[in-house]
């Protein structure tokens, strides 16, 4: 069984935010409008976290794209009272929207703030609904939503493979953000396969995890900016 994981090379990342919009487009993530945005209710499963240090002219800004990190020891899963969020055998931390009761305990528990809440039923003009991705359910009000590693793509890739009576290849399944990354800074694959790109890159000396000391064991690995090369 595969264990899906992602590697984001910060030395290649350009903070262009394409991953973010690709995610919104793929997963029918609503835009919330000015009023809601001002109240801090933008939903964006993947977010570019920026951190600036120093004072002009000695400044330094780091940009870190943060999808759900799909922890192997996810703090959000443990606290969900109704099994609406759980870690599936392939390592995807899933959110079942129709089960969620909207208590937001998982959001409070997530140290990465990777979960989002539908504070309202977000509605968009009817004409724009045509642009919805029919593969992904449109979340309704009052439930928590989050990055799913585009698990609907896995479902479909697996279904295609099954219909063709073969095993699914790991590269048939790629989340939307990885697919569009212009600088090819994101990699996706099977962590159980020691020769997959993500496994190889994960062993790079540049590799680190976000808030590693919390012991959440994220499956999204970052590669530090800097001179040393990835092992590719």
Partner 1 sequence: MHSSRHRLNFEEHRILFDPIQNPRRGISIFMGILLAITAWGGFCYILQWRYGLGASGLNQPVLWGFYITNFVFFIGISHAGTLISAILRMAKAEWRRPITRMAEVITVAVLYIGAANIIFDLGRPERAFFLFLYGRYQSPLLWDASSITAYLTASSVFLYLPLIPDIAILRDRFADRKWLHRFYQVFSFGWDGSPRQQKVLNIGITIMSVVVIPIAVSVHTVISYIFSMTLQPMWHSTIFGPYFVCGAIFSGIAALIVMMVVLRKIYHLEPYLKPIHFNYLGILLLVMSLLWFYFTFSEYLTGFFGHEPTEMRVFWSKVTGTYAPYFWTMVFFNFVVPVLILSFRRMRTIGGVLVASISVLAGMWLERFTIIVPTLANPRLPFPSGIYFPTWIEWGLMLGSFSFFVFLYLLFSRFFPIISIWEIEEGREVGLEEVEERIRSYLPETAGTFNSREKERST
Partner 2 sequence: MKVGLISSMIEGKRHWLLLAGIILFVLIVVFFFTTVMGRGVKQPIQFNHKTHKEQGVECSTCHQYVREQTFAGSPKIEVCWECHEEPITESREETKIQQYAKENREIPWVPLYRMPKHVFFTHRRHVAVAGIQCETCHGKVGEMVKPPAKQLKTLSMSACMDCHRDTGADNDCLACHN
Partner 3 sequence: MRISRRHFLKMFMGAVAGLSAGCTDFEKISTGWRSSEKWGNPLEEWIPSICQQCIGGCGLLVRVIEGRAVKVVGNPLHPVNRGGICPKGLAGIQSLYDPDRIQTPLKRAGERGEGKWQPISWEEATAIVVERLRGLKEKRLTNSLVIIAGQFQDLREPLLHRFTDAYGTPNYIRNRCFTPNEVSKAHFLMQGVTSPLGYDLMNAGLILSFGCSLLEAWISPVFQLRTFGHIRQERPGNRGRIYVVDPRFSVSASKADQWIPIRPGTDAALALGMAYVIIQEGIYDRKFVERNTFGFEDWTDGEGKSHVGFKTLILNEYKPFTVSSITGVPVEDIFSLARAFVNRRPAIALGEKGLSYRPNDIYTRMAIHSLNGLSGSLGSKGCLTVQSDVPLTAWPGTEQEESVRFGNSQPRIDGAGQGKYVLATDAMENLPGNILAGRPYPVEVLFLFHTDPLFSHPKRDTFIKAFEKIPFIVSFSPFLDETSHHADLILPDHTFLERWQGSPVRHSSGFSLFSLGRPAVEPVHSTRDSADFLIEVARRLGGGMAKAFPWKNSEDLLVQTTKGLYHSREGYVVSLPEEEAFRQFLEKAGYRIQETRSFEIFWDSLSAKGAWWSPAGSSAEVRKLIRTPSGKFEFYSNTLKNQMKRAADEVGGMERLLADLGLRARGDRLYLPHYDAVEAQQTAESIFTLNTYRLMSMSGVTAAQPWLQETLAPHVAESWENWVEINSERARNLGIRDGDRVWIESRKGKIRLKARILPTVAPSLVHIPFGQGHRAYGRWARGRGSNPNDVIMTLEDTLKGFGILSGTQVKITKA
- The answer to whether residue 158 forms part of the interface with partner 1 (CB under 8 A) is no
Answer whether the bond into residue 92 is a cis peptide, omega within 30°.
no
| Residue 212 binding partner per list partner 3, partner 2, partner 1, none, with a CB distance cut-off of 5 to 8 Å that depends on partner kind | none
Q: Are 5 and 221 in contact (CB under 8 A)?
A: yes
For residues 212 and 198, give the distance between their C-alpha atoms in angstroms, rounded to a whole number. Answer: 18
Position among 142, 158, 179, 225 found at the interface with partner 1 (CB under 8 A): 142
- For 5, the enclosing helix (H) or strand (E) is strand 4-9
- The answer to whether residue 50 forms part of the interface with partner 1 (CB under 8 A) is yes
Helix segments in 39-134, DSSP class H: 75-79, 105-109, 126-129
Helix, strand or coil for residue 169? coil
Position among 4, 15, 23, 117 found at the interface with partner 1 (CB under 8 A): 117
Min. distance of Cβ 19 from partner 2 in angstroms?
A: 20
| Residue 173 binding partner per list partner 3, partner 1, partner 2, none, with a CB distance cut-off of 5 to 8 Å that depends on partner kind | none
| Residue 232 binding partner per list partner 2, partner 1, partner 3, none, with a CB distance cut-off of 5 to 8 Å that depends on partner kind | partner 3
> Strands, E, within 14-170: which ranges?
47-55, 58-66, 85-87, 93-95, 115-117, 144-146
Select 79 or 157, whichever has its Cβ closest to partner 1. Answer: 79
Residues forming the site for partner 1 (CB under 8 A): 36, 39-42, 47, 49-51, 66, 75, 78-83, 99-105, 107-109, 111-113, 116-121, 141-144, 210-211, 214, 216
């Amino acid at each position: 069984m595969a264990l899906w994981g992602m590697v984001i090379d910060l030395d290649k990342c350009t903070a262009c935010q394409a991953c973010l919009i690709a995610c919104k487009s793929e997963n029918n993530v609503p835009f919330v409008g000015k009023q809601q945005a001002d109240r801090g209710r933008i939903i964006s499963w993947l977010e570019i976290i920026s951190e600036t240090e120093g004072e002009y002219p000695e400044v330094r800004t780091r940009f870190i794209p943060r999808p759900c990190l799909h922890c192997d020891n996810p703090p959000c899963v443990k606290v969900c009272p109704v099994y609406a969020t759980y870690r599936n055998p392939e390592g995807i931390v899933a959110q079942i929207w129709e089960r969620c009761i909207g208590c937001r305990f998982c959001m409070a528990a997530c140290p990465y703030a990777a979960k989002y809440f539908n504070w309202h039923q977000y509605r968009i003009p009817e004409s724009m609904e045509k642009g919805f991705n029919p593969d992904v359910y449109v979340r309704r009000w009052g439930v928590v939503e989050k990055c799913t590693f585009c698990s609907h793509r896995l479902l479909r890739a697996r279904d295609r493979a099954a219909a063709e009576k073969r095993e699914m290849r790991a590269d048939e399944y790629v989340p939307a953000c990885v697919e569009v990354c212009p600088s090819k800074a994101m990699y996706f694959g099977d962590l159980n396969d020691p020769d997959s790109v993500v496994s190889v890159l994960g062993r790079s000396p540049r590799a680190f995890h976000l808030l590693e000391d919390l012991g959440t064991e994220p499956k999204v690995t970052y590669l530090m900016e800097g001179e040393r090369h990835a092992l590719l």
